[in-house]
Amino acid sequence: MIIDTLKKRGIKYSETDIDNKYNLLVNMYCVPEEDAAASIINYYSKSGFVSMGPKTIKISEINAPDQWVTIEGTVVSIYPGTSPSITQSGLIRDDTGVIRYVIWAKSGHAPLEKFKTYRLESVVTSEYNQLFSVGVNRNSVITPLEDKSYVDLDSIRVDYASNSVNTDIKSIKDGDWVIIRGKVMRIFDNTSPNIEQHGIIADETGSVRFVIWKKSGIEKLEEGKSYEIENAVANAYNDKISIYLNSTTTVRELEEEIKVDAIQTEEFQGAIIKVMQGSGIISRCPECNRAMQKGICATHGHVVGKKDYRIKMVVDDGVEYRNVVVSRELSEKISGITFSEAADIVANTLDNELVRATIESRILGRYVKVVGRKIDNTILATDIQPLNADEFYQAVANLLEGVDVTSSPA
């Protein structure tokens, strides 16, 4: 009915655009079919032509936010879903560059397929951390281009890696595709179902957090071993760079051990503001000494663990904070609860949370000086000394000396 009417009136139209508008009105807004058809016919009759969005531009020409553009490109990477408001996000490229795309859930559009080429009409540009992206919304039109591609699939892995054979960790920038050679310094306890593993990897120039997505198919890395990681993407959050390993990333274990940056020792003073989950009685793998989760070592699987005692806490000096991991001996020292006493609480109540809560009730708000090995924002404590309030306030005053705290942001 709609197409026949438009044909009779000699009005140009797009069947894809008509279908999108019709589905939006009928299925999302529950408009009666006859009213939806009349609305679409009226829309085209008033305009006299189909609005196909702005002229197609190259990705490299996108240089400002809040613009309506049309681009063509091949999907080269798809990110794991992290938000219910997003149907899909990933990277799309043409012959001039690569840009992130986001398909908003309310747009009604289906996810794109990796290595397929599309025209994205009437998408909106955004800017974050000086990087541009395009958003697919309910007014956008997605058209598959079956006979077109902007990538050489045989060389896609190399094409999206850094131009350097190897990238120094300290030189990694937000948005880079990198190849790094480094040594895994630490594996973190995993708390996200979307993440297979995350930890810290280092070379002679510095260290960086790495994340292996669950859907990547990449096997877990081992603490203390050296690897070459090729075609990982760098992302910044709160000015902290992380590298993300996805389905296009390759990992190769190295026979030689990568030399790492000299061990950084830090002295940090502040107030204990939180005792984190994972404090109290824990089980460690007898092979690698890593903390286990529910009887499973991230590297060695199901093993009979050995009991240990630790505190994981957050220390804040009023300007910044550190995550502090405290060994058994120091945990006993600062909490006043011995390993045996903590183990008895767990044995009698089957509740390690009670141990954590008891520790927190005793040390929360204390001022301490922590000394230890610093990895990223974490200190592996080798010594902890109590401070009185006057000592702490003086330390903060020294830290703030010369800082204009009266000025306000523009």
Query: CA dist 36 to 1, 137, 142, Å?
Result: 11, 20, 21
H or E stretch including 378? Answer: strand 378-387
Residue 2 has pLDDT above 60, yes or no: yes
Are the CB atoms for 298 and 290 separated by under 8 Å? yes
328-335 and 352-363 helices cross at what angle (nearest 10)? 60
What is the CA angle 253-291-242, rounded to 5? 50
- Rounded to an integer, the average pLDDT of 190-217 is 85
Count of CB atoms situated within 10 Å of the CB of 179: 19
More confident residue, 225 or 167: 225
Are the CB atoms for 325 and 312 separated by under 8 Å? yes
What is the CA angle 302-255-261, rounded to 5? 90
pLDDT, tens digit (0-9, with 9 covering 90-100), for 289-345: 778 887 787 667 788 889 999 999 999 987 788 999 999 999 999 999 999 999 999
φ, ψ for residue 95, nearest 5 deg: -85, 5
Residue 50 has pLDDT above 50, yes or no: no
15-23 and 33-47 helices cross at what angle (nearest 10)? 140
pLDDT, tens digit (0-9, with 9 covering 90-100), for 90-137: 888 888 888 889 999 888 999 998 888 999 998 888 887 567 889 998
pLDDT, tens digit (0-9, with 9 covering 90-100), for 374-391: 877 889 999 999 887 666
Q: Which of 287, 229, 235 is nearest to 258 (CA)?
A: 229
**Interacting residues of 258 by C-beta distance below 8 A, sequence separation 6+:** 181, 182, 183, 202, 203, 204, 226
Q: Read off the tokens for 255.
A: 């026979």
**Average predicted confidence (pLDDT) for the chain:** 81
| pTM, 2 dp | 0.44
Q: Which of 373, 263, 251 is nearest to 322 (CA)?
A: 373
User: How would you class 300 by CB atoms within 10 Å of its CB: exposed for 0-12, middle for 13-18, buried for 19 or more?
Assistant: middle
Q: What domains, with CATH codes, occur in the chain?
A: 2-47 (no CATH), 59-151 (2.40.50.140), 156-253 (2.40.50.140), 265-400 (2.40.50.140)
The position carrying tokens 């008891």 is 358
pLDDT, tens digit (0-9, with 9 covering 90-100), for 303-315: 888 999 999 999 9
HSE-up of residue 19 (Cα within 13 Å, Cβ side): 8
Q: Which of 210, 216, 207 is nearest to 250 (CA)?
A: 216
pLDDT, tens digit (0-9, with 9 covering 90-100), for 139-173: 888 999 988 888 765 444 434 443 333 578 888 88
Alpha carbons 340 and 320: distance in angstroms, whole number:
34
Q: Read off the tokens for 358.
A: 């008891």
Structure letter (DSSP) for residue 110 = P
